[in-house]
Amino acid sequence: MDVIPAIDLLDGRCVRLYQGDYAQSEVFHDDPVLVAQEWVAQGATRLHLVDLDGAKAGHVVNGDVIEAIARSVSIPVEVGGGLRDRQSVAEVLGLGVRWAILGTVAVENPDLVAQLCQEFPGQIIVGIDARNGKVATRGWLETSEVDAIPLAQQMADLGAAAIIYTDIHRDGTLQGPNREALRELANAIAIPVIASGGISSTSDLMGLMALEPMGVTGAIVGRALYTGALSLRDAVRAVGQGRWQDVPPDLGFSTFA
């Protein structure tokens, strides 16, 4: 299982939101590139970037920062936030990004998702962010009447490489992931599921590893890493992934916490 550090970008800085609320943002670092390099030094094998400004605007906003991160690290990067047309997807993939994450268009324009999956095979991930099982869109500012599992099944059929599932009520709360929802989703589709929201401890990660045979292949971790509640080194060790053995023990999280 991959432990995937999240880097959320707002006004060019690394922040975290609470339950997706832009009014409850906390700045953790002014230099997201340095943050990305720190996570690589700590053993990360993949990074998750969210363009929060882009999610609100409906197009790529933090492109310069995204490109700087993608070009400065040797591990693959996935990016979401505001990717609602072909131009935006092509733009972000052209920045050196491995995967583009689609959210709102999965609900509003599934035909476009199908086209993009054909044009960029293996590079399209669909993010399903849910409140009480209903899919939220437009930077979590709106909640649709679409149920998460049928949408995931449709996206898998269209050719999505994976599904990132976020329980918005857990995001930024450090209360643990919604394992039951993840179990139901993973059992309903045949493509990988990446867990997001509320992961705060190695115990949470070990619990998710029990779902790995069902298809839960990764866990995105945000606030817990930045506050120091969870050490990435310990997280990588816990899942037996990455190169934690080579990371000097004195590389801590004082930069962020």
For the chain, how many residues are written?
257
> Active-site residue 8, yes or no?
yes
> Active-site residue 234, yes or no?
no
47-59 in b/e burial notation, b at 16+ Cβ within 10 A? bbbbbbbbbbebb
Strand 193-196, strand 216-221: pairing: parallel
- Dist CA 201 CA 229 (whole Å): 7
Tokens 């969210």 belong to residue: 50
Q: What is the rounded radius of gyration, in angstroms, for the C-alpha atoms of the chain?
A: 17
Nearest to 5 by CA among 61, 43, 52, 34: 43
What are the φ/ψ torsions at residue 216 (nearest 5 degrees)?
A: -85, 105
Q: Catalytic: which of 8, 51, 53, 167? A: 8
Q: How many helices (H) and strands (E) does the chain have?
A: 11, 12
Q: Catalytic: which of 53, 129, 167, 171? A: 129
Single-letter residue type at 78: E
Q: Which residues are catalytic?
A: 8, 129
